[in-house]
Amino acid sequence: MKTIRLKVGKERSLLRRHPWVFDSAIAKGSGDAGETVRVESADGQFLGWAAFSPSSRIRARIWSFEETQRIDAAFVHQRIAQAVAARAWFDIRSDGVRLVHGEADGLPGLIVDRYGDTLVAQFTSCGSEKFKQAIADALLQVTGLTRLYERSDASVRQLEGLPEVTGWLRGQGATELTIREHDWQLTLDVATGHKTGFYLDQRDSRQRFFEHARQRRFARVLNCYCYTGGFTVAALAGGAGHVTSIDSSGPALERARRHVRLNGFDEARATFLDADVNTTLRQCIERGERFDAIVLDPPKFAPTAAHAERAARAYKDINRLALKLLVPGGELFTYSCSGGISVDLFHKIVASAGADAGVDGFITERMQGAADHPMTLAFPEGEYLKGLIVVRR
């Protein structure tokens, strides 16, 4: 077993059970891509067993902090079984569920979502790639399912020196699926949809938007970066009078239209715009339009902290425009899925947007990813999705 030894003082985060070892923390030692290595402090103290990533700044990801632990197929099976069993703790009103959430479930670089009878896995680290076949076998054994699709096409694989890979790992069949979420039906394609096919992390936020629409009786709703219309369906289900949905993807908008029909809503209550969000928001202001509720759920502007400054300007601009478009008492549901934007920074960005817009508001709720996308005490970086519900004063 190869060993990597850390520089003096660099063991502190691992003693707090943080699962990452950065390249700058390593004094000596190396390994092959995905190889399990022993991690030691400068004085030789055992710290953990890790998967080595020679191309990544995160040079090693901890599998286990227990010195007696053997990292093999049985270990992978046990971790997957624990992750799947943990989902029974949560009140998940959907047959679309995240079963494995990377470091939070002790399986760094592995994402697994279940959509009905189909599993979708994303291998984003050298370690998870190394155990791919063992992981596939364990997933089918633990869930009792027979179909597993791979969506290892996330950009983070480039940082690991890994090529993009997609296709059936186990089983075969149609990639177009329909899932149930709350009382709605939503469709996706696991081969072409964003992430593993759908944004399961916003399940709870869509439910809250439905509840607010039902309580507040929104007359006019604007859903920006609507993708396939999850928030649009939630608003219409809550009784919103009319929802305008904006996205720059024609195929996504067509699926959003299908969702309106699939759930039995009057299509006259929904308008879909294939357009740039910033441009459309400015045009709405020029026309003097106002909305009772606006959703801002943009793509990832800052994948890492290095992109935070530029991303902050983009977030601020869209929030400034949206706050101007709200009627007094109107609600803004605003989100950031950027790992490089912290919760505190996002709050400051929205506050600055309000100041520039000449608008004040009450923050009535803070939102985060659904419960099956957990953040652990030792790994705060897992909190990539954050949101605010702001009521314009």
3-state secondary structure 374-391: CCECCEHHHCCCEEEEEE
- Shared-domain flag, residues 37 and 125: no
For residues 71 and 62, what is the distance between their CA atoms, to the nearest angstrom?
11
**Within a domain: 254:** yes
- Shared-domain flag, residues 213 and 258: yes
- Shared-domain flag, residues 354 and 375: yes
CATH assignment at residue 258:
3.40.50.150
Q: Among 126, 226, 284, 337, which one carries the catalytic annotation?
A: 337
**Within a domain: 186:** no
- What are the C-alpha distances in Å from 31 to residues 43, 69, 164? 20, 19, 22
**Within a domain: 283:** yes
Task: Supply the pTM of this predicted model.
Answer: 0.95
- How many structural domains does the chain have? 3
**H or E segment at 312?**
helix 308-325
Instruction: Reduce the secondary structure of 269-310 to three states and give it as a string.
Output: HEEEEECCHHHHHHHHHHCCCCEEEEEECCCCCCCCHHHHHH
**Within a domain: 289:** yes
Please give the average pLDDT of every successive group of 10 residues along the chain, which has 393 residues.
96 97 97 98 98 97 98 98 96 96 97 98 98 98 98 95 97 98 98 97 98 98 98 98 98 98 98 98 98 96 77 95 98 94 94 98 97 93 94 97
Selection from 252, 297, 290, 288 nearest residue 272 by Cα: 252
337 as an active site residue: the answer is yes
For residues 104 and 108, what is the distance between their CA atoms, to the nearest angstrom?
8
- Shared-domain flag, residues 253 and 383: yes
In the prediction, which pLDDT does 53 show?
Answer: 98
- Shared-domain flag, residues 138 and 257: no
**Within a domain: 193:** no
- Shared-domain flag, residues 255 and 328: yes
In the prediction, which pLDDT does 339 show?
Answer: 85
Q: How far apart are the first and last CA of the chain?
A: 62
Selection from 205, 238, 208 nearest residue 221 by Cα: 238
In the prediction, which pLDDT does 178 show?
Answer: 98
- Shared-domain flag, residues 375 and 345: yes
CATH assignment at residue 59:
2.30.130.10
In the prediction, which pLDDT does 376 show?
Answer: 93
**Within a domain: 184:** no
Residue pair 383/375 in contact by the 8 Å Cβ criterion = yes
In the prediction, which pLDDT does 306 show?
Answer: 73
- Shared-domain flag, residues 128 and 246: no
- Shared-domain flag, residues 171 and 276: no
The sign of the torsion formed by the CA atoms of 356, 240, 259, 171 equals positive
CATH assignment at residue 127:
3.30.750.80
- Shared-domain flag, residues 371 and 277: yes
Question: What is the Cβ-side half-sphere exposure of residue 340, based on CA atoms within 13 angstroms?
Answer: 15
The domain in which residue 122 lies consists of 73-175
**Within a domain: 259:** yes
In the prediction, which pLDDT does 301 show?
Answer: 85
- Shared-domain flag, residues 44 and 125: no
**Within a domain: 181:** no
- Shared-domain flag, residues 269 and 372: yes
- Domain boundary among the residues 175, 191, 222 is at 175
